[in-house]
Structure 1
Amino acid sequence: MTSCPPGAWRRNVSVLVWTPVLLLGPVLDVQGSTGSIVLQVTIIVVIAASAVTAALAGGPPWHDARAPLALSTLIAATVAGSTLESAQWLPTWVLLANALPSAIRGRWLLLAIPATTAGSMGAAWMVAPHDGTRVLTQGFVVVLAGLANAAFTALIDTVSELRRTRQELARVAVAEERDRFSRDLHDLLGHTLSVMVVKAQAVRRLVAADPAAAVAHAVDIEQIGRRALVDVRQAVDAMRSPTLAEEVAGACHALDAAGIATRVDGSPVVASGTADELLAWVVREGATNVLRHSGASTCRISLSDVDGRVALTIADDGMGAPPTSAPRVGGLAGLRERLAAVGGDLVVEPGDDGFRLVATVPGGRA
């Protein structure tokens, strides 16, 4: 058995509330022979059951076939009740108009309300053919009930849609923040751990031949590890903002320790604000890739400011582009997203004579 759409009864609560009230007249009007009483009670029960079913089954996402079926049954029972030609049965047309928005919407609803109004006026004319006031009053009440409940259900649908939209926006915001944090954590620790690995390798090579140099590298590992702990704490607190000058100095130190001769052209103070922070991330990721993948002997970091856009180039003479077989959060893709968000771009130029990374962002110093 198909379950009712969640929250449908809230949307169509007016139908549920007014069903017993509007059926009170027909109930009090039950009279006549046994056959007639059975017929009247049957019609009342059918009207009540179909109205409640339409209210419970009708509503977004409009996939429950019971709602239009219940509405069709309600229409037939209401028309059948009108054949009794009693004024006590006229409120069933109000109930029908009230139930219309439960099962249909859009242009069909705009057609159904006038049709129901015309039917109710015809029923009123059958009861009192010479009482024009009663006929007009009946039509006014029915059209008012239909339009009022249509407006009410449209408002409820809008509120529900806004609530779903808000939940989706919150989900997307959480996902974006999770991606941002993953990217930041990768960019933050990838470089630091690579430097520690390089220095640990240096310690292993020098421990027998040059103990003093090995001790110096071990001290550097300890200091880098402590700094990494501080960086992680600050990243968790969303307080970590690297600076270009710090990252350039750190990259030179790490590359030199790995035996990669490094040259810096231009001043890190060429950038400011957001540009400074973004290029700091580029230097960190670029230096990490040189350490991990390039096998280079030289590296050049160039900074320039042309027409208000800062250009950063990291070029080495290694084996070319880093491997990209395993997709991951961060890395060059993460850098490209960061730069694109502020109107910048990232170009990678692998070649036989090395690897070249060019990042440009708006926001140079005047």
Structure 2
Amino acid sequence: MAETWGCQARRYAAVLVWVPLLAGVPLFALHGGSAQVLGQIAILSTVAAASVATVLTGRVAALVVLGVATVVASTQGEGWMTPWTLLAITAPVVLRGWPLAVTVVAAAAGSATAMWRVDDVGETFWIGVAGVLLAGGATTAYLRLLEANAALRCTRAELARVAVAEERERFSRDLHDLLGHTLSVMVVKAQAVRRLAERDPAAAAVHAADIERIGRDALVDVRRAVDAVRAPRLSEELEGARHALYAAGIRSEVVPFGGELPEPVDETLAWVVREGATNVIRHSGATQATFALTGVDGEVELTVADDGVGGPLEVSRRDGGLEGLRRRVAAVGGLLTYEPADEGFRLVARVPVT
């Protein structure tokens, strides 16, 4: 997971801020001739450069160079112990787990050995060793907190992206299922108006009034879909399917289910009825359609069957249509199957009642 620049900058600052101090303290303990002083300055320069390289590159090789330079620096006598603390602070940048723990403990042990060689074991000795351990532990905790925060920010952004994608899919599916059925009925009724306009104006007027009513209902449905409050009822959809099929010249039969259905099941099956009726009107060329509800082993099964030409020639893979309907049914633990055949089309949805 990629880190943000802000996280990297805070990680760099948490370690690099100590480089001038911890690598600079031994400058006050320079001693010997000019050649020795130059050598000591070179050692401190190596310590500082290796620390910066470890932080910026994250390479273990740079940390190894820092460790070697720290050991060399500690041989220069009293006042040269701070590079051990710098080693303990830098190690968490590139190491994890037991390698990190071993490195921090080794830095504390190296500091203790170096101080023991130049001074007696006393209060300063224990403070120095504890300081190395504390520096390594505190820096490790801070860096891991930065990484955890970066991971949480990335996760939050991903959750927001998924939520937007799911909402777009829901809206697309709802519009397809709502308007696909409604517009199909309006087209059928408009065709009826065109056929009846001359020979039966009264019947044409009835169909025209139905088109107006259906259009008004469609506006309400779209508003509800936008507000995510559209919840169709199975009984209403069965009645609407019967009227739509009648207008299209298709006989319909409904075999009801003898019992109450939980609201999620009722709503899901209502969408199945709507999509099934739309497909019968649009694609089947059928003369009869049947909607049968039966209870089977703790499940309710809805079957939509017609005697047409076999249903859609190609099942859409878009968010709407039968694939969108399959996802609706799966969301409540059910299963949707469909069987196009020469003698008609059979759509079956099985949903657990509990």
**Which residue type is aligned with residue 73 of structure 1?**
V
Distance 1:54 1:268, change over 3 A: farther
For residue 9 of structure 1, what is the aligned residue in structure 2? 9
Deviations 1:62-98 (A, max 9, x none): xxxxx3343233223222312322x211011011111
- CA positional deviation for 1:352: 2.4
Whole-angstrom distance in 2 between the partners of 1:4 and 1:350 = 51
> Which has the larger displacement, 179-188 or 298-307?
298-307
State which of 193, 209, 220 in structure 2 corresponds to 1:219: 209
Distance 1:74 1:9, change over 3 A: farther
Whole-angstrom distance in 2 between the partners of 1:4 and 1:235 = 39
For residue 21 of structure 1, what is the aligned residue in structure 2? 21
**Counterpart mapping for 1:203-282 below 5 A:** 203-266=193-256, 270-282=260-272
Runs of 4+ in 1 over 6 A off after TM superposition: none
For residue 103 of structure 1, what is the aligned residue in structure 2? 94
**Counterpart mapping for 1:48-63 below 5 A:** 48-58=48-58
Whole-angstrom distance in 2 between the partners of 1:152 and 1:233 = 50
State which of 61, 64, 67 in structure 2 corresponds to 1:72: 64
Whole-angstrom distance in 1 between the partners of 2:97 and 2:66 = 20
- CA positional deviation for 1:249: 1.0
For residue 150 of structure 2, what is the aligned residue in structure 1? 160
> Which has the larger displacement, 293-302 or 113-122?
113-122
State the TM-score, normalizing by the size of structure 1: 0.87
2:305 partner SS:
strand
State which of 63, 66, 84 in structure 2 corresponds to 1:93: 84
Distance 1:341 1:327, change over 3 A: closer
Deviations 1:308-340 (A, max 9, x none): 432221110011132325421122222222222
- CA positional deviation for 1:224: 1.4
For residue 149 of structure 1, what is the aligned residue in structure 2? 139
Whole-angstrom distance in 2 between the partners of 1:312 and 1:190 = 20
Gaps (5+ residues) in structure 1?
59-66
**Which residue type is aligned with residue 25 of structure 1?**
V
Deviations 1:125-154 (A, max 9, x none): 3323x5466555443332332233223322
- CA positional deviation for 1:99: 0.6
For residue 45 of structure 2, what is the aligned residue in structure 1? 45
- CA positional deviation for 1:268: 8.6
1:88 partner SS:
coil
For residue 299 of structure 1, what is the aligned residue in structure 2? 289
> Which has the larger displacement, 94-103 or 11-20?
11-20
> Which has the larger displacement, 331-340 or 186-195?
331-340
Whole-angstrom distance in 2 between the partners of 1:90 and 1:5 = 35
State the TM-score, normalizing by the size of structure 2: 0.90
- CA positional deviation for 1:265: 1.8
- 8 Å CA contact retained: 1:9, 1:55: no
Whole-angstrom distance in 1 between the partners of 2:332 and 2:226 = 23
Whole-angstrom distance in 2 between the partners of 1:363 and 1:328 = 28
Whole-angstrom distance in 2 between the partners of 1:41 and 1:5 = 36
**Which residue type is aligned with residue 72 of structure 1?**
V
Q: Are 2:36 and 1:36 aligned? A: yes
Whole-angstrom distance in 2 between the partners of 1:136 and 1:185 = 73
Q: Are 2:181 and 1:182 aligned? A: no
Whole-angstrom distance in 2 between the partners of 1:123 and 1:160 = 39
State which of 322, 327, 334 in structure 1 corresponds to 2:317: 327
Deviations 1:256-315 (A, max 9, x none): 111101111226974341111111101000001101111100011122345543222111
Deviations 1:2-60 (A, max 9, x none): x99732231353322322332342122234433333323333233223323333444xx
For residue 81 of structure 1, what is the aligned residue in structure 2? 73
Whole-angstrom distance in 1 between the partners of 2:317 and 2:208 = 33
Whole-angstrom distance in 2 between the partners of 1:104 and 1:10 = 18
1:346 partner SS:
strand
2:115 partner SS:
helix
**Which residue type is aligned with residue 71 of structure 2?**
V
For residue 341 of structure 1, what is the aligned residue in structure 2? 331
Aligned residue pair count: 352
Query: How many percent identity over aligned positions?
Result: 53
**How large is the Cα RMSD of the aligned pairs?**
2.5
1:349 partner SS:
strand
Whole-angstrom distance in 1 between the partners of 2:262 and 2:115 = 80
**Counterpart mapping for 1:193-204 below 5 A:** 193-204=183-194
Q: Are 2:110 and 1:119 aligned? A: yes
Whole-angstrom distance in 1 between the partners of 2:264 and 2:316 = 30
